[in-house]
Structure 1
Amino acid sequence: MRLPDLFAGHTQLRGRLRGLWFKFKIALFRCDFRIGPGFTIGGPVMMTNGWNGIIRVGANLVMDDLKITLLRGARLEVGDRVSANRGLIIGCMEEIRIGDGTMIAEYVTIRDFTHRIEVGVPMRDSGFKSAPIVIGENVWIGRGACILEGITIGANSVIGANAVVTRSVPPNSVAVGVPARVIRTLAPEGAARQGAAR
């Protein structure tokens, strides 16, 4: 056996062991957790709250280190063949769904809740508002992007690095900027055509 093959096998084994440890930690939270085969974690996982939450994960999920805040009764669904790079933060108060084949780059935040802002009410006392997030199949989310509550990202879309997504993105779109706006529509065969929403 070649040395690179030996290291590759060791890395894969370590990722699977981390996956088993993650399952054990979720069991301690009394979280309803179901996962498909081929689950690999490359780094540490932090999970806060999670009591009576629901997590559904499809087959062949690959992720690096991440932090999940799953509030009581919240639901997190991740499809098949999803990959998530290091530094992912997921905050789920209500529901987040991530479609099959989605790729998530480093330091992305996906959060379905935020503080309310009310005149005359201290920020600490204003409470939260939430709305579900739906990320379609085959979406690519660039490094440092932030997906806010109530957003739907259509299938086959690209979210640019460091974008802040404050409104929904149609399928087959490229959205960039702060706040994110659609700058291009992707043709079904993969060729791009101009169709900017200015």
Structure 2
Amino acid sequence: MPQTLPRLSLLSRLRTLAVSLYLAARGTPHGGHLFIRDGFPRFPGGGDVHFGYRVNMQCDLAPVWLRAARGASIELGDRTFINAGTEIIAAQLVTIGPHCRIGPFCTISDTNHHPVHEGEMARVAPVILGRNVWLGRGVIVLPGSVIGDHSVIGAGSVVSGTVPPRQVWRGNPAVHVKDVRCSPDFVRG
């Protein structure tokens, strides 16, 4: 079943154009057909944000924050959807694969920002979300986490470590609940 283009209001089309022009001025091209709905995303920091084709951000309740520190990178895969209030923080690298669905008010961070013990450095470790991953509302993904293709993380969960492909995880800390039955080319609508 072919996916249809989201319908945007005139105001959302103007916001999308403004964000596209802003990104071009920053030297941050996008893969085409960027969609911004009801608000503006925020891009603090001096790092790189790479957009795939047809990335869609919902900013109605709160803006989407894409914070890439200088020298760091956030990579958003083709046809990824990011819901309101989500914050993606990269001190090094956060990669979100194609067809991912990120629920509202999620936090994905590759750093814990501050050391836990005296004499230690803040933890920084890349975060990778595979293809067709779905994060429910309020999920927190901690540094060094890897979430495999087609996996689902339940609302309010905290992910630390590796989630294998095709699994549902939930809780704090998130644990395996059941497997996802799907073909390799499955895409959530």
Aligned counterparts of 1:159 and 1:56: Cα–Cα separation in 2: 24
Q: Distance in 1 between matches of 2:176 and 2:15?
A: 38
From 39, 46, 53, the counterpart of 2:42: 46
Tell whether the 8 Å contact from 1:12 to 1:40 is kept in structure 2 after alignment: no
Match of 2:16 among 15, 19, 30: 19
Deviation at 1:164, TM superposition (A): 0.5
What RMSD over aligned residues (CA atoms) do the two structures have, in Å? 2.1
Question: Which runs of no fewer than 5 residues in structure 2 stay unpaired?
Answer: 1-5, 185-189
Conserved in 1, the CA contact under 8 Å of 2:20 and 2:34?
no
- For residues 138 and 97 of structure 2, what CA distance do their matches in structure 1 show? 19
TM-score normalised by L of structure 2: 0.83
Q: Which residue in the other structure is 1:172 paired with?
A: 166
Q: Which has the larger radius of gyration?
A: 1
CA distance in 1: counterparts of 2:94 and 2:41, whole angstroms: 18
Give the corresponding residue for 1:196. Answer: none
Q: Distance in 2 between matches of 1:15 and 1:171?
A: 35
Q: Which SS does the other structure have where 1:182 is aligned?
A: strand
Gaps of 5+ in 1: 1-7, 191-198
Please, which of 96, 99, 102 is the counterpart of residue 101 of structure 1? 99
How far apart, in 2, do the equivalents of 1:27 and 1:58 lie?
A: 14
| Counterpart position of 1:149 | 143
Query: How high is the sequence identity, in percent, across the aligned residues?
Result: 34
SS of corresponding position for 1:16: helix
Query: How far 1:189 sits from its partner (Å)?
Result: 4.5
Q: How does 1:81-160 map to 2 (within 5 A)?
A: 81-114=79-112, 115-119=114-118, 127-160=121-154
State the TM-score, normalizing by the size of structure 1.
0.79
Q: 1:47 aligns to what SS in structure 2?
A: coil
- In terms of fraction of residues, the more helix-rich structure is 1
CA apart distance, 1:116: 1.5
Distance 1:100 1:12 in 2: 25
Q: Secondary structure at the match of 2:12?
A: helix
Q: How far did residue 17 of structure 1 move? A: 2.5
Q: How many residues align?
A: 173
User: Deviation of residue 57 (structure 1)?
Assistant: 0.9
Structure 1 residue 184, shift from structure 2 partner: 0.9
